[in-house]
Amino acid sequence: MLSRIVTRGLAGLAVVAGVVTLTFLLLHLAPGDPARLLAGPEATAAQLAAVRTGLGLDRPLPAQFVSWASRAIRGDWGLSLATGRPVRGMLAEAWPWTALLVSLSLGLSYLLGIGVALLQTRAGRRLDTALSAISVALVAVPGYWLAVVLIWIFTYQLRLLPAFGAAGLDADFLGPGARVADRLRHLALPLATLTLIGMGGAARFVRGALFDIRGAAFLAAARARGLTEHRIRTVHLLRHALGPVLTLLGLSLPALFSGAVFVEGIFAWPGVGRILLDGVAARDYPVVMAAATVSALLVVAGNALADLLRAWTDPRVRDA
């Protein structure tokens, strides 16, 4: 087991290094010059050269990469080219908002998805087909399109929920209860967008796992002992499907983070995704590199979590 963890750890570090290197190269090869954006369209060649020298962009790419990597390993992500603020501080401010959105949507997605899958195990053919079609549609629909539809319905048509930001302009003047209600109203639409998409994938995966084992011998033995169908489904059937579900849970974390990038941009949610999109638009290299590194680390952590959960629930994997 220890050798498995070490091997996975080394492979994860290699993945992070590859992602970081590729991101650095693509950023510097992509059209656009941050020095031009900072200096302005009327800057002279001398002014532009001075800005590039001040930003360290006049050095060869290998030297720039080594300089950035040596600082990043020490926890110094540099300064934002657009705002001049420390990137580490920007991410520290934004990360709790992303963590709140992702964690809530992940929990709700699996609770609702497992509930839908359990319902399908005892539903008739028509209801099972209808729920399967809805689940597939939720998996296939682009997150940004679903976000726009929800905004159109609940903000512009029904006028029930705000569409942008994490709080209203008057949030600082509200009482404690009204402030919490205001935050929940702003959270509702981005949370619903990520939850609906995640719920579709979870329902499809859990349904497949449940249907694969619903004719197993241990279930027939449980029925022979006189156990109720409700107990068989919620205890025995769901418990044996837990391994694949936990594996999917670990793998869902990086995918959910990637989806949250565009959702945060659409709803102006003050998380890491919005910072990343703003950094790409401004050719803010330090911000984009820091966000890409965090994303790569999250992918590796999600895969490692999936492996550990799978080994914890399945002795065959643990002893391999």
Q: What is the pLDDT of residue 191?
A: 93
Distance CA 301, CA 250 (A): 8
Question: What are the pLDDT digits (tens) for 232-246?
Answer: 666 666 666 666 677
Question: What are the pLDDT digits (tens) for 221-235?
Answer: 666 776 666 666 666
Q: What is the pLDDT of residue 232?
A: 67
23 CB-near residues (< 8 Å, 6+ apart):
288, 289, 292
Q: What is the 3-class SS of the chain, one letter each residue?
A: CHHHHHHHHHHHHHHHHHHHHHHHHHHHHCCCCHHHHHHCCCCCHHHHHHHHHHHCCCCCHHHHHHHHHHHHHCCCCCECCCCCCEHHHHHHHHHHHHHHHHHHHHHHHHHHHHHHHHHHHHCCHHHHHHHHHHHHHHHHCCHHHHHHHHHHHHHHHCCCCCCCCCCCCCHHHCCHHHHHHHHHHHHHHHHHHHHHHHHHHHHHHHHHHHHHHCCCHHHHHHHHCCCCHHHHHHHHHHHHCHHHHHHHHHHHHHHHHHHHHHHHHHHCCCCHHHHHHHHHHCCCHHHHHHHHHHHHHHHHHHHHHHHHHHHHHCHHHHCC
Cα distances (Å, whole numbers) of residue 203 to 18, 139, 196, 213: 33, 10, 10, 16
Split at pLDDT 50, 70, 90, the class of 190 is very high
**Is residue 311 pLDDT above 70, yes or no?**
no
**% of the chain at pLDDT higher than 70:** 82
**Is residue 265 pLDDT above 80, yes or no?**
yes
- Looking at residue 270, its amino acid is P
Split at pLDDT 50, 70, 90, the class of 163 is confident
Q: Which of 32-36, 72-76, 170-174, 194-198 has the highest mean pLDDT?
A: 194-198
Split at pLDDT 50, 70, 90, the class of 218 is low
- 39-52 CB burial, b ≥16 within 10 A, e <16: beeeeeeeebeebb
- Domain 87-318, classified CATH 3.40.50.2300, yes or no: no
Split at pLDDT 50, 70, 90, the class of 259 is confident
Q: Which residues pair with 79 in a beta bridge?
A: 86
Q: Which residues pair with 10 in a beta bridge?
A: none
Annotated domain spans of the chain: 87-318
> Which one, of 308, 292, 285, lies nearest residue 38 by Cα?
285
**% of the chain at pLDDT higher than 90:** 7
Question: What are the pLDDT digits (tens) for 117-138?
Answer: 878 877 778 888 898 899 888 8
Contact 314, 244 (CB under 8 A): no
Structure tokens given for 110: 């699996």
Q: Which of 80-89, 206-215, 217-226 has the highest mean pLDDT?
A: 80-89
**Is residue 251 pLDDT above 70, yes or no?**
no
276 CB-near residues (< 8 Å, 6+ apart):
261, 287, 288, 291, 292
